[in-house]
Amino acid sequence: MPKTSARLLALLSLLQARRDWPGTLLADRLDISLRTVRRDVDRLRELGYPIAAIKGPDGGYRLSAGTELPPLLFDDEQAVALTIALQVAATTSGDTLAEAAVRALNTIRQVMPSRLRHRVEALRITAVERPTTRPAAPVDGDVLLAISAAVHARETLRFDYGPESTDTPPRRVEPHHVITWDGRWYLIAFDLDRNDWRTFRVDRIALRTPNGPRFTPREIPGGDVAAYAIGKFRGSDDAGGWPCQGTVILDLPAATVALYTRDGIVEEAGPGRCRLTLGSWSWPSLAATIARYDADIDVVGPTELTDAFAHLARRFTRIN
């Protein structure tokens, strides 16, 4: 990076870190002269940053609010927190805001350093249905990332849970999946002490460190996280009451597909891909519903869904 550009970025980072900066302090922090500080401030103003001069014995500068949004700089923790917030917004907001969140998320991911991208991509979000208007429960971003990293690394977690945590031993679980439902974050895990599957609210989890040993993943009841989650939250063992239900892999990001999925499960399946589980009243209807996403499709199952796609393909080729 050219020396001048690097200096401008450093100056902008300092101006964003606190409200007022004496000119002499800026010059000292950047190891440049006051004259160079003034020139660099003028350059930033030309780029659209509203930097006001502060009157006083030493003079100084302040980054103020402007009429347009200029480019911004974020430190590592801010970038991670912003990415998590955008993923939440993409799956829990109305269509207009959610679409804007997806665009912003793609923009940030394109320029995010690999060390941060790896942290964020460990966060596997499953959007279970479209959320209601209930406000989302606040979740610590570091906790969410730590849980997701343990899911990805297949490491046992230990944590205190809920108000009873001070009077009981820590829970020991094998984390399986992080999901969202009705504005809240949940961890689906196998509880080692209770020898059964459990669903935990992430906002009630207080992690203990270090993590436990690595484990071999167990098969979730029914073999499908989508069906299991829907059955748990709806208080039944069925997956929503549809006579036909299938799962596919779409060549679209999960955050994008979640915008248009009101009664189904969307899971991350790698960069730019997602796993979609939906139900319908017939197999051709289900295939047609999935086809509306306008993306390449790999059918996971069942075979009835594959046959329905073939049936529709033959029908459509006969159209003149």
The mean-pLDDT minimum among 51-65, 146-160, 182-196, 209-223 falls in: 51-65
Task: Walk me through the domains of the chain, giving residue ranges and CATH numbers.
Answer: 3-63 (1.10.10.10), 74-118 (no CATH), 122-234 (no CATH), 242-317 (3.30.70)
Q: What is the pLDDT of residues 157-200, one digit of tens each?
A: 999 987 655 567 889 999 998 877 666 778 999 999 989 998 89
CB-CB contact of 247 with 301 (8 Å) = yes
**Residue 25 tokens, joined:** 């302090």
Q: What is the pLDDT of residue 280?
A: 81
**Residue 10 tokens, joined:** 């450093």
Of 168 and 290, the structure prediction assigns the larger pLDDT to 290
Phi first, then psi: what are they for 107, rounded to 5°? Answer: -65, -45
Q: What is the pLDDT of residues 7-46, one digit of tens each?
A: 887 888 788 777 788 888 888 888 888 889 889 888 888 8
CA distance 74 to 120: 15
Of 162 and 301, the structure prediction assigns the larger pLDDT to 301
**Residue 75 tokens, joined:** 């430190």
pLDDT (mean) for 266-277: 82
E strands in the chain: 20-22, 51-54, 60-63, 125-128, 157-161, 171-181, 184-191, 196-201, 205-208, 244-250, 264-268, 274-280, 297-301
CA distance 90 to 102: 6
Q: Starting at the edge strand that comes first in sequence, how are the strands of the sheet with 60-63 ordered?
A: 20-22, 60-63, 51-54
CA distances from 116 to 74, 81, 103, 142, 153 (A): 12, 11, 19, 13, 17
Taking alpha carbons only, the member of 230, 271, 278 closest to residue 254 is: 271
Residue 34: is it exposed, middle or buried by C-beta count within 10 angstroms (0-12/13-18/19+)? middle
Of 131 and 56, the structure prediction assigns the larger pLDDT to 56
CA distance 302 to 139: 36
Q: Count other Cβ atoms within 10 Å, centred on residue 195.
A: 7
